[in-house]
Structure 1
Amino acid sequence: MTLQKKSWNEPAVRVNQLGFTVGQSKTFSSQLVKGEFEVVNVDTNETVYKGQTGPLTDDASAGIAVSRASLDALDQPGRYRIVMEGGIESETFAVSERPYQEIKRALLKNFYYMRCGMELTEEFAGPWKHGACHLAHGGVHGDTATKLPSAGGWHDAGDYGKYMVAAAKAVADLMLAFERYPAAFAEPTIIPESGNGIPDILNETRYELDWMLLNQREDGAVYHKLTTYGFPGLHVMPEDDLGTLVYSPVSFTAAGTFAASMAMASRIYAPFDASFARICQETAERSWQWLERAEGQELAGFKNPMDVTTGEYGDRTVVDEHYWAAAELYRLTGDAVYLTRAEQLAKSGSFPLCSLGWADVGGYGTVALLAALQQRGENAALLADLQEAWLLRADELLASSLSDGFGVALPSNRYVWGSNMTVMNDGMHLLIAADLTKDAGKREAYCTAAQYQWDYLLGNNVLGICYVTGFGSYSVMHPHHRPSVADGVPDPVPGIVAGGPNAGRQDTVAVAMLKELPPAACYIDHEDSYSTNENTIYWNSPAVYVAAALDIQHQA
């Protein structure tokens, strides 16, 4: 049953629309209503559990009063709904052994739908098939007589550009997910490479890595992005986007994130393809050498050339990219030169050590150092400092999560462009913290808070919407995603994570239709609202990590 959408400020019950895992934490939120509730089995219409919500408390981000309640005692597999006084009901949800298996596969399969440079056939893409696209060579900006191969990789977002710093975060999240939770990726995602003896998450990531390799110059510098000079119209399919392709100039951030992600790939792919692993290491080291030569000379963040108007992905702070590269190369090689450099950069105080964004990548360097220092038994003081920083941030996220009416760790000022990425990044951080802590109680609390971030994404939010296309009883239908708009298929491409609430409202639709709303309600499911309803590869990638963890319940 699909329920009628309710306004953000009407009495309602909000719940993870996919449901919960047997034996794990289960909570829901009720807005503007508290009191007794009952849980009804939708197949038998029998009441199987009764309970009481907590007190109503004001939620600043949502702009309403919210109460929370536990369903932990509900552990019998089945399909249920929550009913409160006055006939207020929740969406139907399930309790089962692995309720997130299908959405985990869809989140990963969405990267296949983002592929550039190849035909997506009906065998693998279903109704969302389309022709091969962007097969031409790209000219180098300022030297358009030089044409370089450019086909391959993933489209970055709702547009068809391909950007190095965005690609690096996405492949890093996927490789970390596989490394930590390999059992979660035993099933195929049904892509052309399935069945080749390599897990499909690595098959898919390799498609992007191969394109990334095309972007490195002989001297180790890396082109910042490959796009047309401007965005195509919203109703243009990939194969019909025939604008001139141009490689924008090289950047320090592109070289740093390239070196880091290639060093990571060398480690991850070595058991599967030793030759590819060597190529990844060689290219990582070449970019590292360029970084060391360029330091102090090309540290300014990237700026678009005057005649290029596609996404800039500029970044004022570039020390964190240098740090991540040093950390990953140390983890790969054990060379003390990289460790010395990473420690120097870590102690500079010029960037956050625990961020997992595309611009602030320090968290990836810290994750690499934590693993390498533990494994090698080196520099105990640095290891202790990094662990302390990571767990301190996890405690901050935990406190924010527990104080929010919907369990999400976002304070009011963090509902920005791509807020759902931040929610999933926070889930990643909490899960990594659970691995670091020796306190069993804290470990359980971190994992539970990670579940709350996931619940928010899948419907336990003030709008009661599942932010992943193709899932839940009320989910995103009109993402700012060109193929979903232009392909003539009623349903959007499945497995898309929408950007989510954005109090900045940087598009005309959001400005016109989201006036005077609280931050958590500043979202509209409209194809023209790119500031709230676009997709990106690096919003999907942390969601894959969280989904993998919760699918197999954070197994040791």
Structure 2
Amino acid sequence: MYKLKIVSVFLFLVINTFSQTPIFVEDFNDSNVNSISTPTGFSSAISNGTLQIIGNGNGGLWSSISYNVNNGIDLSESPKLFIRAKSSPSVEMRVDLRDDTGYLTNQNPISARLSGEFVTYEFDFTDKLFDGAFGGPCKLGPCAVDATNIKTISIYANPGIGKYNGTIELDWISFGYVESSDQQETTNFQIRYNQVGYLIGRAKTISITSPVNFLPLTYSIKNKSGVTVKTGQTPNPNFWGDAQEYASIIDFSEIETAGEYTIEVNDKKQTFTIGNDVYDDLSLAALKYFYYNRASTAITAQYGGIWARTSGLPDTQVRVHSSAASTARPTGTIISAPKGWFDAGDYNKYIVNSGISTYTLLAAFEHYTSYYASKNLNIPESGNNLPDILDEIIWNLDWMLAMQDPNDGGVYHKLTGLNFAGRIMPNRYTATRYVVRKSTSAALNFAAVTAMASRIFKQYEVQKPGYSTALQEAAKEAYAWAKANPTNYFTNPTGVRTGEYGDRNVTDEFQWAATELFITTKEAQFKNDININNINNGVPSWHSVGGLALFSMNHHSAQLSADINVTIAQSKVLEKANEIRAKVNTSPMEIGMANSDYVWGSNSVAANQMMYLIRAYEISKEETYLKAAYKTMDYLLGRNGTGFSFVSGFGDKTPIRPHHRISDADGIAAPIPGMLAGGPQPGQQDKCTTYPSNAAARSFSDTWCSYSTNEVTINWNAPLAYVTNALRFYQNSGVALSVSENNSFQDQIQLYPNPVSNLLHINLTNQDVQEISIYSIAGKQVFKTKAIERNITLDFSDLQTGVYIVKIKKQDKIITKKVIKN
């Protein structure tokens, strides 16, 4: 007999509600189980209420185990499957649904990596019910799979690889929905919050998480004086599959006074901050990280404080590796390639990872030029008539230029030793350094970045004479080399064991490079190479850079509209941003991270998601994108499954043992501040034994050993720097600065003149306003009144020059407006 009950599924989608009953549940607890078919290489058995699938190592690449639903199941209401499973050893398990005509959901495959502990997986087939005509009855795909009559679940162990030798155990399968376990009282819960602080005028939420489905908990929030400003009970929790926990959200967005607060939930307390400037130091440190990671220079106490260090790795005597040898530069030729940023926790330098990292900082400057014009990073170049962010970028650009072979325009893939260094400081590194192989991906990353940099530095010809021209010519030469060598994919040559950054699909790199070159040069040869339909809109990473091309197209849409269909570029950005925003709105934790987002460097996924949301806001001016971006920042700063604020030095619980050689070997207890740790992911490739959980959202270890979750890299810090500064820019500008704004209410409130020197007039146009208060940009209240008339005049003459926030309250509606005092 089949019994309704909670189920796990193979995919990565989190269950958001318990209000609906599963359509069907198989719990393998009696003999009346639907038929199970196994191919050669597999057998099955039901034992102790679980289905055991045993592989003997002889299974084929696409051998599938079939769970057959005799009468068919209608999943049209909720095309989801939940499976609670484990395996020994770990295996990738793919799940497809087959309808009564034999059509299979193989066009958009869904998989999960099983571990040795039972975990509930969700496979969401929404918008994935298509057969791609890869064999079977569908001859010309895509063929729609009939969700009203699902007959079979097909399970694959190591899809495309086969030969699984081990055991998979399924505890149960649930169709459509997952059922809640009984709620219970508990003291086993955690308070997850933004440890850096919450911004005035933005959404403010705290998550309560627990391994059990808990009954509502009583909470109160008090200000620093002990005055209670909010009380209530936690809403019923939802199951958060990625963490294997239950989560409930406390929303306190209505608290808008800057200061320190304490939330008390039962007998647990946590202090947090609200203000307008909570991201100021973080936004600086995220950028300053790049200075600390400079190669070929000393970090002095004047600029580095306690993290000062002597110079190391000058890279002025670098050998050409045999894999990079040419007639003009034979094996062993000595070249000079100083400067650059150390890539990650090691002392190597890679063009591919420098590509996305340098682009992201260049984009930050290009998108918010006026903001960065005065942002002082306290680096040696500060005060030299160039914005500090450009000075930092130059340090890496100069190294990148030295990595181009002047004889043919090709670009060496990396500059490294033959092996990774030990846990030493840079000045103790004595191994021979090499430039290793040229590659198509390196040339294209180089071409895209130098082309973009060329147009930016064109505005600084006085400060950097000839630099823009040199960058543009280097970009053209690298692009020409890549077109002549379109499949020179990088793999480590024999004897080289440092990072590979190999990529065998460079379609996105070609599109990105052509886009940047066309924007900069306006030359038809580059326009002709752009195919907007071939540009993917994935969240950016070093091996997926299509999104970077889309960002640049949209930023320069007015210039490009006559030559490129920028409408498609806009729709692609908005499509991805809509997907991310939907996850934020539906996640049990109200975050953008779910399922397959928990990869190596998952925190960079979260940061780049925010970049997507911000760019979508710039395209559409739809404030919900910006709201989702601010809320997503909570995830990186503590409102997550680990309880860590993932940025070193920022928060109450931050990484103190990152996989970063300088921070490990410098003898200083605190790591360099502003570094974004890689983040949780279930792979645990480093084999450390310190992980608290195998659940994707909690699989994080603050140890040197855990290079798969606790390493730092330039391409993870770059989007952190971008988004923290962009969000700070919007906050200081008063953009979309209301969390409960009513559009008609907003439109009927008029403030003038703005900027104001003396008298500010507020026209309330028949609005029943209860309160008006004014705050400095630092969050200090400078005025408040409840004596409201239809028109009010306020005297600003005694206030200091700067930005002020006017907060106007009407019943349950609040709007805020920015006013500039001259």
Taking the aligned partners of 2:200 and 2:631, their CA distance within structure 1 comes to 16
Structure 2 counterpart of 1:318: 506
Name whichever of 24-33 and 186-195 sits farther off: 24-33
Structure 2 counterpart of 1:3: none
- Mapping for residues 344-363 of structure 1, pairs under 5 Å: 346-348=532-534, 352-363=536-547
Q: Is the aligned partner of 1:57 residue 2:229? A: no
Q: Is the aligned partner of 1:430 residue 2:613? A: yes
> What's the CA shift string for 1:328-359, capped at 9, x where partnerless?
0111122232122112xx334xx623441111
Instruction: Give the letter aligned to residue 40 of structure 1.
Output: K
Name whichever of 157-166 and 330-339 sits farther off: 330-339
**Equivalent residues of 1:300, 1:318 under 8 A apart:** no
Aligned-pair distance for 1:515?
Answer: 6.9
Name whichever of 536-545 and 126-135 sits farther off: 126-135
Aligned-pair distance for 1:466?
Answer: 0.5
Q: Is the aligned partner of 1:110 residue 2:297? A: no
Q: Is the aligned partner of 1:395 residue 2:584? A: no
**Equivalent residues of 1:13, 1:29 under 8 A apart:** yes
Structure 2 counterpart of 1:16: 194
Q: Is the aligned partner of 1:176 residue 2:353? A: no
SS at match of 1:145: coil
Q: Is the aligned partner of 1:31 residue 2:195? A: no
Taking the aligned partners of 2:624 and 2:432, their CA distance within structure 1 comes to 51
**Equivalent residues of 1:355, 1:364 under 8 A apart:** no
Q: Is the aligned partner of 1:130 residue 2:309? A: yes
Which runs of 5 or more residues in structure 2 are unaligned?
1-186, 323-329, 736-822
Name whichever of 487-496 and 176-185 sits farther off: 176-185
Structure 2 counterpart of 1:88: 268
Structure 2 counterpart of 1:230: 419
Taking the aligned partners of 1:456 and 1:315, their CA distance within structure 2 comes to 30
Aligned-pair distance for 1:183?
Answer: 4.4
> What's the CA shift string for 1:116-158, capped at 9, x where partnerless?
0011111111121111111241111114421110221100000
Instruction: Give the letter aligned to residue 401 of structure 1.
Output: V
SS at match of 2:590: coil
Structure 2 counterpart of 1:203: 391
**Equivalent residues of 2:367, 2:555 under 8 A apart:** no
- Mapping for residues 274-353 of structure 1, pairs under 5 Å: 274-295=465-486, 299-343=487-531, 346-348=532-534, 352-353=536-537
SS at match of 1:363: helix
Structure 2 counterpart of 1:193: 381
Taking the aligned partners of 1:541 and 1:243, their CA distance within structure 2 comes to 29
> What's the CA shift string for 1:4-53, capped at 9, x where partnerless?
xxxxx940211111112211221221113544422222x32222233444
Query: How many pairs were matched up?
Result: 530
Instruction: Give the letter aligned to residue 101 of structure 1.
Output: D
SS at match of 1:225: strand
Aligned-pair distance for 1:89?
Answer: 2.2
Aligned-pair distance for 1:318?
Answer: 0.8
Structure 2 counterpart of 1:5: none
**Equivalent residues of 1:499, 1:539 under 8 A apart:** yes
**Equivalent residues of 1:354, 1:390 under 8 A apart:** no
Aligned-pair distance for 1:96?
Answer: 1.2
RMSD: 1.7
Instruction: Give the letter aligned to residue 412 of structure 2.
Output: Y
Q: Is the aligned partner of 1:548 residue 2:722? A: no
SS at match of 1:270: helix
Aligned-pair distance for 1:385?
Answer: 1.5
Taking the aligned partners of 1:550 and 1:330, their CA distance within structure 2 comes to 29
Structure 2 counterpart of 1:221: 410
Structure 2 counterpart of 1:484: 663
Structure 2 counterpart of 1:405: 588
How does the TM-score come out when normalised to structure 1? 0.92
Taking the aligned partners of 1:107 and 1:484, their CA distance within structure 2 comes to 16
User: 2:354 aligned to 167, 188, 205, which one?
Assistant: 167
Aligned-pair distance for 1:405?
Answer: 2.7
Which runs of 5 or more residues in structure 1 are unaligned?
1-8
Change (3 A) 1:543 1:237: same
Structure 1 counterpart of 2:554: 370
**Equivalent residues of 2:518, 2:526 under 8 A apart:** yes
**Equivalent residues of 1:105, 1:189 under 8 A apart:** yes
SS at match of 1:267: helix
> What's the CA shift string for 1:86-131, capped at 9, x where partnerless?
21223x2221122101001001001001000011111111121111
> What's the CA shift string for 1:150-173, capped at 9, x where partnerless?
221100000000000111111111
SS at match of 2:437: coil
**Equivalent residues of 2:200, 2:258 under 8 A apart:** yes
SS at match of 1:399: helix
User: 1:494 aligned to 673, 685, 688, which one?
Assistant: 673
**Equivalent residues of 1:354, 1:364 under 8 A apart:** no
**Equivalent residues of 2:202, 2:630 under 8 A apart:** no
Taking the aligned partners of 2:698 and 2:495, their CA distance within structure 1 comes to 36
Instruction: Give the letter aligned to residue 404 of structure 1.
Output: S
SS at match of 2:247: strand
Taking the aligned partners of 1:45 and 1:327, their CA distance within structure 2 comes to 57
Taking the aligned partners of 1:19 and 1:27, their CA distance within structure 2 comes to 11
Taking the aligned partners of 1:53 and 1:238, their CA distance within structure 2 comes to 51
Aligned-pair distance for 1:460?
Answer: 0.5
User: 2:436 aligned to 239, 248, 251, which one?
Assistant: 248
Change (3 A) 1:377 1:352: closer
Change (3 A) 1:376 1:365: closer
Change (3 A) 1:516 1:355: closer
Instruction: Give the letter aligned to residue 367 of structure 2.
Output: R
Taking the aligned partners of 1:156 and 1:79, their CA distance within structure 2 comes to 38
Instruction: Give the letter aligned to residue 528 of structure 1.
Output: C
How does the TM-score come out when normalised to structure 2? 0.63
SS at match of 1:224: strand
User: 2:320 aligned to 129, 140, 148, which one?
Assistant: 140
Taking the aligned partners of 1:300 and 1:286, their CA distance within structure 2 comes to 16
Instruction: Give the letter aligned to residue 473 of structure 2.
Output: E
Structure 2 counterpart of 1:40: 222
SS at match of 1:80: strand
Please say which structure displays the higher CA radius of gyration: 2
> What's the CA shift string for 1:426-460, capped at 9, x where partnerless?
110111011112xx5xx221111111221100010
SS at match of 1:125: helix
SS at match of 1:176: helix
Instruction: Give the letter aligned to residue 368 of structure 1.
Output: S
Q: Is the aligned partner of 1:518 residue 2:695? A: yes
**Equivalent residues of 1:266, 1:278 under 8 A apart:** yes
Taking the aligned partners of 1:20 and 1:47, their CA distance within structure 2 comes to 18
SS at match of 1:271: helix
